[in-house]
Amino acid sequence: MTDSTPYLYQGARLRLREFGWRDVHALVQMHRDPRVRAHLADDVPLDDARVAHQFVENMQQFYRQHEGTGIWCAERAHPPEAEVLADALRAHACGEIDAAFLDALVQPRWSFCGWFSLVHLSDDLHTLEIGARLTPQAWGGTLALDGGEWLLEHAFRTLGQSHVLGHCSPTNRSAAHCLQVLGFQPQGLAPYNGGQALRFGLCQSGWAAWHAQPRRERQRAVLSAGR
């Protein structure tokens, strides 16, 4: 993979692309963070550089063998600081820099923030599940919802899925809340990767009706229902 690899999704705050070798170090660092490890529903030791390297190699093969599905590298945007932006606008107004240089200065900086996934269940090759694993620095915002909405759009509209599942650790209340804001309905505990996970389901018709509402209204509805 080169730096010219196209992005599968790019929004104002988040963009997704295929994993490449340059991402191995960031993968290892994320999985060495105890806050991340506390919520994992699997025990793949991606904190080991050799395992992370093999993960990237496997994913590069997976992308070609199972087009449209995979685990994708996520990057988040860091807008320019207000002072830098103000100085750039002032310099452009004074004729000190041209429009092209101004545009370069005001572009956001992007950094690794985890991954989003859309893959088949290991025991059911006809069913897709969405997933996300983010660095703690990316918690508490809207990135999980941004990525989740794209995953569902891709699953239902591009891939023509009739239903999609989601899973999370029973202790991960934030992930459970996010899945419900995306429209998923809880289905209780289910076997998952040798353990137990909370399972959520969403059908295509339910997704279409739910996502016709603005996100803010969906968030309020989930909070009000105490789901």
Of 119, 100, 87, 89, nearest to 192 (Cα)? 119
Q: What is the pLDDT of residues 29-87, one digit of tens each?
A: 999 999 998 888 777 899 999 999 999 999 999 999 999 999 999 999 987 666 666 66
How far is Cα 204 from Cα 213, in angstroms, rounded to an integer?
15
- What does residue 75 show for φ and ψ, rounded to 5 degrees? -130, 140
Q: Using CA of residue 103, residue 104, residue 108, residue 110, what is the dihedral sign?
A: positive
Q: Print pLDDT tens along the chain (227 aa).
A: 444 568 999 999 999 999 999 999 999 999 999 999 888 877 789 999 999 999 999 999 999 999 999 999 999 998 766 666 666 677 667 777 777 655 666 667 899 999 999 999 877 778 999 999 999 999 988 999 999 999 999 999 999 999 999 999 888 889 999 999 999 999 999 988 888 899 999 999 999 999 999 999 999 999 888 75
Q: Quick one: tokens of 4?
A: 């010219």
How far is Cα 134 from Cα 31, in angstroms, rounded to an integer?
10
Look up the pTM and report it. Answer: 0.85
Q: Quick one: tokens of 217?
A: 């209204």
Identify the three-state secondary structure at position 167. strand
